[in-house]
Amino acid sequence: MDTITILRLTRDPIDLNALQRAVTTPRDGAVVIFTGTVRGQTGAHQTSWLAYEAYEAMALEKLRQVAEELRARFPLVHGLALVQRIGEMEVGEPTVAVVVAAAHRGDGAFEAARYGIDRLKQIVPVWKREVRPDGSTWVEGDYFPTPHDKAR
């Protein structure tokens, strides 16, 4: 059985339609797309724009690890894309996309997309700087790596 895997860091806008077409095989009738976008408001704070930076070589290796984990857990997934933008993004722009294609929605497509974004956020070395009208701040996550997260 052929599968499609797309792993990418990009400075270009994410084209969700192109990603859907790229990961959908003739066997697929279910495609789940998760996108994270730049929020203009977080709690009481207004966001002007975001800047993402990555340790690119390691980020690509960790995207590969997420894809391998996802495929092991969800063997009925045929197509998969994990795409993370880097650089500056305006409010409303997609910053990350996880696209999963399977024959049917009950073949783990929803669960695989959720797993993909959760693991990407946990282990892919990407850092976010939030720029506000009153200054900027680096946003820290709350996940602490485990031995399972280390390179293989």
Where in the chain are the domains?
4-138
Q: pLDDT grade, residue 26 (50/70/90)? A: very high
How many Cβ atoms from other residues are within 10 Å of residue 152's Cβ?
Answer: 7
Residue 81 in tokens:
């894309």
Beta bridge pairs of residue 77:
102
Q: pLDDT grade, residue 1 (50/70/90)? A: low
Of the listed ranges 54-63, 78-87, 138-147, the one predicted with least confidence? 138-147
Q: Rounded CA gap, 3 and 72, in Å?
A: 13
In this prediction, residue 147 carries a pLDDT of 72
The fold of the 4-138 domain, in CATH, is Aldehyde Oxidoreductase; domain 3 (3.90.1170)
pLDDT at 143 over 70: no
Structure confidence by residue, pLDDT tens digits, 93-131:
999 999 999 999 999 999 999 999 999 999 999 999 999
